[in-house]
Amino acid sequence: MSLQELWLLLPVLIICVGVLTLMLQAAWQRNNVLAQGLTVLTLTLALGALIRQYPTDMRTITLLFEHEPIGGFFSLLLLMVAISVALLQGPYMGKNSKEVAEEFYILLLLSCLGSILLVMSRHVASVILSIELMSLSMLAMLAYNRERKLALEGAMKYLLLSGAATSLLLLGFALLYATSGQLLLTQMLSSPMQLVAKSGFVLVVAGLAFKLSLVPLHFWTPDVYQGAPVNSTLLLTSLSKAAVFALFIKLILLIPPEFEADMVRMLSWMAIASMLLGNWLALQQRSLKRLMAYSAIAHMGYVLVAGVIAMGIDHSLVLEGASYYLLAYLVASILIFAVLTLLSKLDEQQDLDDLPQLQGLFWQHPWLASVMTLAFLSLAGMPITIGFIGKFYLLTLAVKLSAWWLVTAMLVGSAVGLYYYLRVIFTLFAPLQRDIQQTSGAYLSKMWIGVITAGLLLLGILPGLLGDELRRILAIG
């Protein structure tokens, strides 16, 4: 490894140093505020380092990793998510929590590290290692309050099922390796594919589809989302999905042409089923976290549409569309979960989760309710929000490819989605029933939420602001 490569790895190294510093701090003197400050500082430094040497072309870093624009863009998104979680954890935990604070930040940095490495991977070993680093540290965060029964149950389910999914992934890679004899992703998929290799690839797709909670493998999602502390749910719904999707799209673009038709058929059905089933199951949910889980299933279906189209037409436009849609989804999820986090406490047995509990939020906390309303409108794809532009991108692409089944499912899904998103919004504006406590103080977190909300509106009103730049940022076309 040369110094040049080490320099390219700088964001990753900064996070590693951050983890070690936090461990020393936990050993030396426990302090919530100091730990949070160190975490935010580490993530900001990593963000700065990433922007400073933002990749313009592909460069390999040893055998295992690569430094390229698409990965760079996704790393930016991942760091944004991690910073949000770190900022929200302080108020969520409060000053005198029963649980320890430092370990959460250590785990947060570790899973952020795993996700960034996953996005940079180009070798099977690094893919498996980083995907496990990400999900194992997330697992501990899912059960961070040990006294919540539902959290333990959810974490246990996630442990078992995610273990099964990883073994599928490993088996798939093993079959691909058995036929190609290569471990680098590009070389592994470029050799002609026999039936064994094809089934291997399908297993790999299944393993990743589990992490993305696409339809035949979505069963774990609502339980885990509902059980976990709301801040960890935010991490689960944004960090792991974004990182795994980056890998997913990378793999899909590598599929040899003779296998494309089969994969298009399979992935189309998965996308259609996710969009319809996710939206349909969300209709009657009273629990907001379950609603968000089903909505995540549906939205991953939408993003998968981009993946399907990617195999049909030119890749650059699709990458742009998928990145934009994912950005829109992440922004909206961060905002919704941030509001829930500010209204809940880690130490309590339950988060604020039930829809009737939120009734009349607008009349008591108008700002939080407005932020949540905007986020839900964005998820529903209403104009002047970023979600509209994201959906517009995807629909344009699907129409261009004349994938009418996909277009139909997207439209039906969006219409159904509108119903339950609006139901939440109506609840927020209904007459106030009971007092809702919000965390006082926490100005930094609230300012950060404000910045993200501003971004949501700004990019919804002036999509060109990012749209024109995105091609340059992703270095495509």
Q: How far is the CB of 129 from other proteins (least distance, A)?
A: 14
Stretch that binds other proteins, among 191-199, 255-263, 393-401, 416-424 (CB under 8 A): 191-199
User: Cα–Cα distances in Å, from 204 out to 172, 247, 262, 276?
Assistant: 5, 11, 15, 24
Cα R_g (the chain), whole angstroms:
21
Residues 27, 52, 57, 443: which binds other proteins (CB under 8 A)? 27
Q: Are 224 and 160 in contact (CB under 8 A)?
A: no
Residues 98, 265, 286, 472: which binds other proteins (CB under 8 A)? 98
Q: According to the binding rule CB under 8 A, does residue 28 interact with other proteins?
A: yes
Stretch that binds other proteins, among 95-103, 219-227, 386-394, 452-460 (CB under 8 A): 95-103
Q: Which is nearer to other proteins, 55 or 200 (CB)?
A: 200
Q: According to the binding rule CB under 8 A, does residue 435 interact with other proteins?
A: no
Helix (H), strand (E) at residue 338: helix 315-343
Q: According to the binding rule CB under 8 A, does residue 465 interact with other proteins?
A: no
Q: According to the binding rule CB under 8 A, does residue 103 interact with other proteins?
A: yes
Q: Which is nearer to other proteins, 141 or 409 (CB)?
A: 141
Q: Which is nearer to other proteins, 112 or 361 (CB)?
A: 112
Q: Which is nearer to other proteins, 103 or 132 (CB)?
A: 103
Which residues, other chains included, contact 224 with Cβ-Cβ below 8 Å and sequence gap of 6+? Answer: 142, 154, 155, 157, 158, 236, 293
Q: Are 121 and 127 in contact (CB under 8 A)?
A: yes
Q: Give the DSSP per-residue string, 36-74.
A: HHHHHHHHHHHHHHHHHT--SS-EEETTTEEE-HHHHHH
Q: According to the binding rule CB under 8 A, does residue 58 interact with other proteins?
A: no
Residues 1, 52, 57, 443: which binds other proteins (CB under 8 A)? 1
Stretch that binds other proteins, among 20-28, 58-66, 117-125, 387-395 (CB under 8 A): 20-28
Helix (H), strand (E) at residue 195: helix 195-212
| Residue with the two structure tokens 């909670």 | 213
Q: According to the binding rule CB under 8 A, does residue 20 interact with other proteins?
A: yes
CA 443 from chain centre, in angstroms, equals: 25
Paired strand residues for 59: 67
Q: Which residues bind to other proteins, rule: CB under 8 A?
A: 1, 20, 23-24, 26-28, 30, 96, 98, 100, 103, 194-196
